[in-house]
Amino acid sequence: MKQRHALLALAVAASLLSLSACKKSETPETATAPAGTVKAPEGETADQFVARINDEFRKIYPELNAAQWTSSTYINSDTELLTAKSNERFLGLLNTWIEQSRKFEGQKMSPETARAIRLLKLSVAMPPPKDPAKLEQLTQLATKMEGMYGSGEYCKGEGSARKCRQLGELEDVLRDPAATYEEQLDAWEGWHTISKPMRADYTNFVELVNTGAKDMGFADTGELWRSGYDMTPAEIAAETDRLWLQVKPLYEQLHCYTRTQLVKKYGERGEVAGGMLPAHLTGNMWQQDWGNLWPILQPYSNDVAGNLDITGALEKMRGEELNKAMAAPDADIGIEQRVEIERAADLAIAQEMTRRAEDFYTSLGMPKLPDSYWTKTQFIKPRDRDVVCHASAWDINLAGDVRTKMCIKPNEEDFTTIYHELGHVYYYLAYNDKPPIFQQGAHDGFHEAIGDTIVLAMTPKYLESVNLVGAQQPNNESVINNQMRMALAKVSFLPFGLMIDRWRWGVFSGEIKPVSYNKAWWDLKAKYQGVAPATARGEDNFDPGAKYHVPGNTPYTRYFLSHVLQFQFYKALCDASGYKGPLHECSFYGNKAAGAKFQAMLSKGASQPWQQTLKELTGNEKMDASAVLEYFSPLQAWLKQQNEGKTCGWNPQGTTAAAKPAEPAKPANG
Would you list which residues are annotated within the binding site? 229, 420, 424, 448, 558
Residue 90 CA neighbour count, 13 Å, CB half? 28
User: What distance in Å separates the CA atoms of residue 77 and residue 71, rounded to the nearest whole number?
Assistant: 9
> Which letter does DSSP use for residue 383 in this model?
S
**Strand pairing class (154-156; 163-165):** antiparallel
The annotation places the binding site for Zn(2+) at: 420, 424, 448
CA angle, 503 then 5 then 228, to 5°: 55
Considering Cα of 426, then 431, then 433, then 438, what sign does the dihedral take? Answer: negative
Tell me how crowded residue 208 is: count the other CB atoms within 10 A of its CB: 22
Q: Which ranges of 267-334 would DSSP assign to H, the alpha helix? A: 294-297, 302-305, 310-326
Burial of 243 (0-12, 13-18, 19+ CB in 10 A): buried
- Pair 409, 394: CB distance under 8 Å: no
What string of DSSP letters covers 28-78? GGGPPPPTTPPPPPTT--HHHHHHHHHHHHHHHHHHHHHHHHHHHHS-SHH
- Say which residues have a Cβ less than 8 Å from residue 231's Cβ, sequence separation at least 6: 19, 239
Report residue 283 CA to chain centroid gap. 18
Q: In the chain, what is the straight-line distance between the N-terminal and C-terminal CA atoms, in Å?
A: 28
Amino acid identity for residue 659 in this structure: A
The annotation places the binding site for chloride at: 229, 558
Amino acid identity for residue 489 in this structure: A
CA 661 to each of CA 397, 495, 524: distance values in angstroms, whole numbers, following the listed order: 46, 11, 11
Q: How many residues does the chain have?
A: 670
Tell me how crowded residue 212 is: count the other CB atoms within 10 A of its CB: 23
- Say which residues have a Cβ less than 8 Å from residue 329's Cβ, sequence separation at least 6: none
CA 29 to each of CA 40, 44, 95, 103: distance values in angstroms, whole numbers, following the listed order: 11, 15, 12, 10
Q: Which ranges of 102-131 would DSSP assign to H, the alpha helix? A: 111-121
Q: What are phi and psi of 164, to 5 degrees?
A: -115, 140
> Which letter does DSSP use for residue 625 in this model?
T
- Pair 287, 531: CB distance under 8 Å: yes
Considering Cα of 135, then 136, then 139, then 140, what sign does the dihedral take? Answer: negative
User: What distance in Å separates the CA atoms of residue 563 and residue 664, rounded to the nearest whole number?
Assistant: 18
User: What distance in Å separates the CA atoms of residue 543 and residue 522, rounded to the nearest whole number?
Assistant: 9
Report residue 544 CA to chain centroid gap. 15
**Strand pairing class (392-395; 402-405):** antiparallel
Among candidate residues 421, 443, 447, 584, the one labeled active-site is 421
Give the bridge partners for 276, in sequence order.
Answer: 272
Q: Which residues of 535-559 are buried (b: 16+ CB within 10 A; e: fewer)?
A: eebeeebbbbbbbbbbbbbbbbbbb
Q: Would residue 421 show up in a list of annotated catalytic residues for this protein?
A: yes
Q: Would residue 280 show up in a list of annotated catalytic residues for this protein?
A: no
Among candidate residues 255, 549, 563, 584, the one labeled active-site is 549
Active site residues: 421, 549
